[in-house]
Structure 1
Amino acid sequence: MSTDGQPAPADPHAPHTLPDGIPALEASAHAPRLEQTQVVIITGMSGAGRSRAAAELEDLGWYVVDNLPPQMLLPLIEMSAHAGDTLSRFAAVVDVRGRQFFDDLESVLAQVKKLDVDYRVMFLDASDEVLVRRYESVRRPHPVQGDGRLTDGIAQEREMLKALRTSADIVIDTSDLSVHDLGREVRQSVHAGLDHHLRVHIVSFGFKYGLPLDADQVVDMRFLPNPYWVTELRALNGRDAPVRDYVLGQQPAQVFLDRYVEALEPVLEGYLGEEKTYATIAVGCTGGKHRSVAVSEELGRRLRQAGYRVVVTARDLGKE
């Protein structure tokens, strides 16, 4: 109130609020920088594959929240602006399970549109016949059927989502899609033009300690001269510069790396096509200390340059 008892004029700099009192971000100079934030809102018909689409994005490294009340989208976007790479890509499943909260989705999306953020609405759909079959197979009630029939719930939900389906950026009809087909559709829709999202784990090991059980590829570095027999290198390992230079300075090592990286490219791309989002490459030598470690580090460097996300570990380093 003002001093004369009249309502105080609205502060033009005060943030607008949603009906439940949650402040909405404004696309202004005062807002956080959100240019690098990518948001996918997953919605659509119950039974059409929303959970599978969310799991696919989670496997690709996205931060995923299931059954999020629409009003929480804006605080989550604001939080992502201050969290760096850890929340630069997140997906939220928003659907009729939110009950009365779901009704606010349209107004929340209007607020999101004002922000400098890359966001898309992904709508999962399927025919009524397919949805009935899927619900009958899991023997669960439809979230909005109440005391009515399953078909009544499906019809009511389809009417509720009619406008949202029309305005969605991505619509995927899963009626005739397998789980793997749906995964491909999600990846192509969301990750088109982005960097590689296959996670590659390169692990060095010693053959005398056994093969890594989870290896997709195994390569043997015992064809290279062993630094163990060089007195000044014996106590060092493949991460030390003298050993690295000794191993990688061999022409056979460079020939191997050039040809192996070239041969890996179609293999790694093929893994993605077969719904495999991670791969383990095991690089071995006798004890897992010198040659395998040096080659693993160099192989990881080259694959990172090619755009892959790579983690390099040395399983048996120190066991001697």
Structure 2
Amino acid sequence: MAQVVEEERELEHGDLVVVTGMTGAGRSTAAKELEDLGYFVVDNLPPALVRDVVRMVDESHGPDQSIAVVVDVRSGSFFESLREVLAEGVTHRRTTLLFLEADDDVLVRRQEAARRPHPLQAGGRLLDGLAQERKVMSDLRGHADLVIDTSDLNVHQLTARIARAFGTEERLALKVTVVSFGFKYGIPVDADYVADMRFLPNPHWVPELRPRTGRERDVSDYVMSQAGAAEFLERFVPLVVDVGRGYLREGKRFMTVAVGCTGGKHRSVAMAEEICLRLSDHGLDAKATHRDLGRE
């Protein structure tokens, strides 16, 4: 097999990425990563509908919304129409054709592991289907803007390659949601980490603070002044930062940190806001949200 040449292009918002390539080469993985990067993704799209999808996204999300469509041999005899779409261009968007491929022995192992027949296999062998697919795909591969050979790539390595090619600095940043909650209402099911603030005195028992919330300065000052509060923040925030770096290395760009107290009104709210501020100081894209505020 000829050596694959990769040319990574710096993309802008509003681009259209057409993902295609060999069956088993990683189209679904690429599509999932593009979706995580903020692209509007449509899988198994007939090429004739590409313009319709662009028009729909323009109307519903605006022309700056990036789009990725996955097209492959499941669409039938589509290659001629796909070449026409790419040659004519799609309205105002710059279109990039991403082609994924791999060696036959790798594709065979992946297809056998998935226990799926090749769409062009018909009644023959899996290798027959792959040979037919390569023949049909050869011209399209030659026109690809970026070719990635996934033969020696695992899922994490492929997602990293896609992120490097199509991600922006904003899209690649770790996004941390710090959510406050009340234990009496249950722990958030989507939490990656849970911190318990019930070791701090409860402002609920201070009459002038009881009706207020942790978002107000007097409550926040009360919580932060308690013994152990500063020490907790000094240890917990660097831990989240370090784990976040590991998440990014593994291609995971979303983290949910849950901060709880009894009712989710005072201590957890104040701490969630402070944790969010400190994570932002470390350069993380952090946002605080308060699940149970107002339930009492």
**TM-score interval w.r.t. the shorter chain?**
0.7 to 0.9
Residue among 15, 23, 27 paired with 1:38: 15
Per-residue deviation, 1:136? 3.1
Contact 1:198 1:277 in 2 (8 A): yes
Residue identity in the other structure for 2:71: V
The whole-number CA distance in structure 1 between the counterparts of 2:94 and 2:174 is 22
Residue identity in the other structure for 1:135: Q
Q: Which residue of 1 aligns with 2:254?
A: 278
Count of residue pairs brought into register by the alignment:
284
Q: Which residue of 2 aligns with 1:64?
A: 41
User: Could you list the per-position Cα deviations for residues 188-237 of structure 1 after superposition, in whole angstroms to 9, with x for gaps in the alignment?
Assistant: 22215343454433222345666555433233445656432332211222
Q: Is 1:90 the equivalent of 2:67?
A: yes
Contact 2:14 2:63 in 1 (8 A): no
- TM-score after normalising by structure 2: 0.78
User: Could you list the per-position Cα deviations for residues 267-319 of structure 1 after superposition, in whole angstroms to 9, with x for gaps in the alignment?
Assistant: 2121122243432212133442202112213433555673526462334x456
Q: Is 1:203 the equivalent of 2:179?
A: yes
Q: Which residue of 2 aligns with 1:126?
A: 102
Residue identity in the other structure for 1:41: V
Residue among 269, 274, 279 paired with 2:245: 269
Residue identity in the other structure for 1:57: L
Q: Is 1:215 the equivalent of 2:191?
A: yes
Per-residue deviation, 1:72? 1.7
- TM-score after normalising by structure 1: 0.73
Q: Secondary structure at the match of 1:232?
A: coil
The whole-number CA distance in structure 1 between the counterparts of 2:89 and 2:190 is 43
Q: Structure 2: state its 5+ residue gaps.
A: 1-11
Residue identity in the other structure for 1:44: G
The whole-number CA distance in structure 1 between the counterparts of 2:273 and 2:230 is 13
Per-residue deviation, 1:88? 1.0
> Larger C-alpha radius of gyration, 1 or 2?
1
Question: Percent identical across equivalent pairs?
Answer: 51
Q: Secondary structure at the match of 2:265?
A: coil
The whole-number CA distance in structure 2 between the counterparts of 1:78 and 1:249 is 55
Q: Which residue of 2 aligns with 1:54?
A: 31
Q: Which residue of 2 aligns with 1:146?
A: 122
> Following superposition of structure 1 onto structure 2, how do residues 148-167 of structure 1 map, counting pairs within 5 Å?
148-167=124-143
User: Could you list the per-position Cα deviations for residues 139-183 of structure 1 after superposition, in whole angstroms to 9, with x for gaps in the alignment?
Assistant: 433222334433222122112222322332322212122233322
Q: Is 1:314 the equivalent of 2:284?
A: no
Kindly indicate whether structure 1 or structure 2 has the higher relative contact order, using CA contacts under 8 Å at least 6 residues apart: 2
User: Could you list the per-position Cα deviations for residues 110-158 of structure 1 after superposition, in whole angstroms to 9, with x for gaps in the alignment?
Assistant: 2336x44354222110111122222333443322233443322212211
Q: Structure 1: state its 5+ residue gaps.
A: 1-34
Change (3 A) 1:276 1:110: same
Q: Which residue of 2 aligns with 1:74?
A: 51
Change (3 A) 1:250 1:129: same
Per-residue deviation, 1:94? 0.8
Residue identity in the other structure for 1:103: E
Contact 1:63 1:89 in 2 (8 A): yes
Contact 2:214 2:220 in 1 (8 A): yes
